[in-house]
């Protein structure tokens, strides 16, 4: 006698819950960036993982890690995708990246 066939639910409840969590996390990052409370990527990675962020931005994990270490390496296109993903204006992300770059450089220009 064969095993009974199990049917899967068709409502995709897990996928809907996962998408809701994603939206909540991205909204949390948006609110913190707009209020200028986030001072580094480590605070973003406390909300969403580094791996997930690299996937969302369509950057390879290793390239993304290098760009986190040296924020000046982010391209304009990548910053635009970051702003679009989070749902903020480009200026917010550009200012965030610039502050990170100024904190890591000893240049007299900044």
**Which pLDDT tens digit goes with each residue over 47-84?**
999 999 999 999 999 999 999 999 999 999 999 999 99
Q: Quick check: 105 pLDDT over 70?
A: no
Per the document, the length of the chain is 110
> How much is the pLDDT for 31?
96
Distance of alpha carbon 86 from alpha carbon 33, whole angstroms = 9
**7-28 per-position pLDDT tens digit:** 566 668 888 889 999 999 999 9
How far is it, in rounded angstroms, from Cα 34 to Cα 88?
7
Predicted local confidence at residue 2, as pLDDT: 61
Alpha carbon of residue 10 to chain centroid: 30
């Amino acid at each position: 006698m064969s095993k009974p066939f199990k049917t899967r639910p068709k409502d995709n409840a897990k996928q809907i819950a996962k998408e809701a969590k994603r939206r909540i996390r991205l909204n949390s990052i948006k609110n913190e960036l707009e209020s200028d409370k986030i001072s580094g990527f480590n605070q973003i990675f406390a909300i969403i993982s580094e791996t997930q962020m690299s996937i969302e931005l369509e950057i390879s994990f290793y390239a993304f890690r290098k760009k986190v270490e040296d924020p000046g390496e982010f391209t304009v296109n990548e910053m635009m995708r970051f702003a679009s993903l989070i749902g903020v204006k480009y200026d917010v992300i550009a200012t965030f990246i610039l502050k990170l770059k100024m904190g890591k450089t000893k240049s007299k220009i900044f």
